């Protein structure tokens, strides 16, 4: 009996929380300038501001230290290692999208780089002409016909529409790094990967900073364009102006 | 003697004709290789000398761009409503902004390699996409495409697409926002202010 009440209490709390979030989202959309591509702009801009602070004081300084301190061959190997770990999931997504030729190449890359490339530290496969593809579960959902849904800006994760948020969650679940034990090693690996990714974005920071009239809008529109390009594998149909 | 002179004249004519009709993919490759070669040798540019790299871009790259078309695309429908004078001012400010951004992106060029994708076009095409890829150790290659149109003066770039992000379209919403708030003049003023702040930030 008490269990039941407890559960319903939790459920009620969850409802209230969800309701609150929904209200916040709706308010955001009412208050902000109406942009059909960004219905929760008010909420998103608040999250964006939060992220800018996290990035300025934590992520970016660490990435800068990493970028300056680590010699290029080591950085390249770190990138290659995580790239190799990611090739399996890329192959799965190629297959899920019906691109079996690509999936074969992805698995071939994994085999070659894990062996000849010494646990993925060297990207031998690319030298052999086996090109790395760019696939993830968000793109698979898009190919299956799932609509992008609203644009959202998450703290830490950054821009992701609803579809890509789901895609990211599924991808995170399937992530091979998640299986690594002990947990301390797994966490170190995840942290290193995060720093590596952040460091690879450092050169574009300045460009965005200089080019944008409104950084939030610039990043949002770049994200939307880039995802569309990825879904169409680099050859999106032209949008008529 | 006469023969030699004639041959020389003829040769220069052929060179000029070939130059005027330079295919779009050849143009992109020539300019890219040219610019990267200069950057590779220039320590000052590598150390982030913005003025020097802007000078380089203005000399080598700009003549191959159609900024009026770029600005019109970025502004969308409002372009036709703008007066010729506004169009001119906006193009000038937008050009300054893009040149600076592009130039500074170039100073970050270190270990990358540009690969040119196979290119095919029909003889009658007047609007093409030249595809290249920037490869960098340890990172995914970045797609870098150029949209070109055929004008009387030759092929001109009117858009640059980085990883699927059109640098021109990416200004659409921001321009629209500024125009809604302060008209085309407001937009011109915002870009001018942005340019000014970048200029003064750099002198520090």
Question: What ipTM did this prediction achieve?
Answer: 0.83
CB pairs under 8 A between A and B: 85
CA distances from B28 to B62, B96, B141 (A): 12, 21, 18
Domain membership flag for residue A11 = no
Q: Measured between CB atoms, does A33 come within 8 Å of chain B?
A: yes
Is A147 exposed, middle or buried (CB count within 10 Å of its CB: 0-12, 13-18, 19+)?
A: exposed
Which residue range(s) make up the domain with A187? 37-231
- For residue A170, the distance in angstroms to the closest alpha carbon of chain B comes to 22
Domain membership flag for residue A18 = no
The model carries a pTM of 0.83
pLDDT at residue B44, as a whole number: 86
Q: What's the rounded Cα separation, in Å, for the pair A47 and A153?
A: 6
Tokens found for residue B93: 């400010």
Domain membership flag for residue A236 = no
Q: What's the rounded Cα separation, in Å, for the pair A208 and A48?
A: 14
Q: What's the rounded Cα separation, in Å, for the pair A196 and B96?
A: 33
Domain membership flag for residue A26 = no
Domain membership flag for residue A3 = no
Instruction: Tell me which DSSP letter residue B170 carries.
Output: G
pLDDT at residue B14, as a whole number: 55
Name residues 147-206 of chain A within 8 A of B (Cβ). 200, 203, 206
Is the bond preceding residue A182 a cis peptide, omega within 30 degrees?
Answer: yes
Domain membership flag for residue A211 = yes
B44-61 CB burial, b ≥16 within 10 A, e <16: ebbeeebebbbebbeeeb
Nearest to B200 by CA among B80, B67, B50: B50
For the stretch B119-152, pLDDT in tens is 999 989 999 999 999 988 877 888 999 999 999 9
Tokens found for residue B177: 């926002």
For the stretch B38-77, pLDDT in tens is 988 888 888 878 888 899 999 999 999 999 999 999 999 9
- For residue A166, the distance in angstroms to the closest alpha carbon of chain B comes to 22
Using DSSP's 3-state secondary structure scheme, residue B143 falls into strand
Q: What's the rounded Cα separation, in Å, for the pair A223 and A53?
A: 20
Is residue A23's pLDDT more than 80? no
Is residue A217's pLDDT more than 50? yes
Q: What's the rounded Cα separation, in Å, for the pair B200 and B50?
A: 12
User: How many residues belong to chain A?
Assistant: 241
Inter-chain residue contact B101 with A213, CB threshold 8 Å: no
Residue B160 bridge partners (DSSP): B146
Nearest to B142 by CA among B118, B120, B161: B161
Per the listing, tokens 């070109």 go with B148
Inter-chain residue contact B164 with A236, CB threshold 8 Å: yes
How high is the mean pLDDT of chain A?
Answer: 87
CA distances from A237 to A127, A225, A232, B72, B189 (A): 30, 12, 8, 21, 34
Residue A35 confidence class, pLDDT cut points 50, 70, 90: confident
CA distances from B10 to B3, B13, B17, B20, B158 (A): 10, 5, 10, 15, 33
Domain membership flag for residue A210 = yes
- Among B110, B112, B133, B164, the residue to mutate for chain A (most A Cβ within 10 A): B164
Domain membership flag for residue A24 = no
CA distances from A164 to A8, A134, B102, B140 (A): 31, 14, 30, 20
Is residue B85's pLDDT more than 50? yes
Residue B78 confidence class, pLDDT cut points 50, 70, 90: very high
Q: What's the rounded Cα separation, in Å, for the pair A215 and A205?
A: 10
Residue A130 confidence class, pLDDT cut points 50, 70, 90: very high
For the stretch A225-237, pLDDT in tens is 999 999 999 888 8
Q: Give chain A's domain count.
A: 1
- Among B97, B158, B174, B192, the residue to mutate for chain A (most A Cβ within 10 A): B174
Q: What's the rounded Cα separation, in Å, for the pair B133 and B74?
A: 24
Per the listing, tokens 């020539």 go with B30
Inter-chain residue contact A225 with B177, CB threshold 8 Å: no
CA distances from B2 to B5, B8, B16 (A): 5, 10, 21
Q: What's the rounded Cα separation, in Å, for the pair B152 and A206?
A: 36
Q: Measured between CB atoms, does B165 come within 8 Å of chain A?
A: yes
Tokens found for residue A195: 């720093």
Is residue A26's pLDDT more than 50? no
Q: What's the rounded Cα separation, in Å, for the pair A123 and A113?
A: 6
Per the listing, tokens 């916040």 go with A24
């Amino acid at each position: 009996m008490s269990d039941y009440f407890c559960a319903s209490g939790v459920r009620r709390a969850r409802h209230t929380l969800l309701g609150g979030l929904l209200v916040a989202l709706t308010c955001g959309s009412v208050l902000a300038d109406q942009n059909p591509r960004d219905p929760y702009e008010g909420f998103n801009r608040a999250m964006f501001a939060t992220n800018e602070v996290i990035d300025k004081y934590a992520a970016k300084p660490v990435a800068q230290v990493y970028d300056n301190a680590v010699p290029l061959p080591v950085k390249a190997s770190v990138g290659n290692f995580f790239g190799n770990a990611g090739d399996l999931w890329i192959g799965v997504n190629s297959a899920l999208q019906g691109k079996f030729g690509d999936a074969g190449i992805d698995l071939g890359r994994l085999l070659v780089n894990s062996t000849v490339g010494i646990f993925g530290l060297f990207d031998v496969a690319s030298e052999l002409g086996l090109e790395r593809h760019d696939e993830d579960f968000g793109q698979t959902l898009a190919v299956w016909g799932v609509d992008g849904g609203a644009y959202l800006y998450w703290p830490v994760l950054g821009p992701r529409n609803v579809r890509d948020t789901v895609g990211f969650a599924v991808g995170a679940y399937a992530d091979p790094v998640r299986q690594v034990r002990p947990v301390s090693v797994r966490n170190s690996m995840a942290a290193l990967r995060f720093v590596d990714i952040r460091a690879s974005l450092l050169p574009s920071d300045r460009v965005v900073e200089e080019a944008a009239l409104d950084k939030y809008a610039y990043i949002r529109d770049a994200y939307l364009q880039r995802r569309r390009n990825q879904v169409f594998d680099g050859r999106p149909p032209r949008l008529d102006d | 003697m006469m023969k030699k002179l004639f041959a020389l004249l003829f040769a220069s004519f052929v060179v000029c004709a070939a130059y005027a009709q330079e295919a779009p993919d050849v143009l992109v490759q020539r300019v890219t290789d040219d610019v990267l070669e200069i950057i590779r040798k220039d320590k000052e540019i590598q150390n982030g000398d913005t003025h020097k790299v802007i000078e380089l871009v203005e000399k080598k790259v700009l003549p191959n761009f159609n900024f009026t078309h770029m600005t019109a695309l970025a502004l969308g429908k409002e372009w036709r409503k703008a007066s010729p004078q506004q169009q001119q001012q906006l193009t000038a400010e937008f050009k300054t902004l893009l040149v600076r951004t592009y130039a500074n992106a170039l100073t970050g060029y270190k270990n990358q390699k540009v690969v040119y994708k196979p290119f095919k076009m029909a003889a009658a095409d007047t609007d093409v996409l030249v595809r290249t890829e920037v490869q960098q150790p340890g990172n995914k290659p970045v797609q870098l495409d150029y949209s070109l149109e055929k004008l009387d003066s030759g092929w001109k770039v009117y858009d640059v697409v980085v990883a699927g992000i059109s640098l021109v379209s990416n200004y659409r919403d921001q321009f629209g926002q500024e125009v809604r708030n302060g008209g085309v003049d407001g937009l011109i003023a915002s870009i001018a202010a942005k340019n000014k702040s970048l200029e003064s930030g750099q002198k520090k």
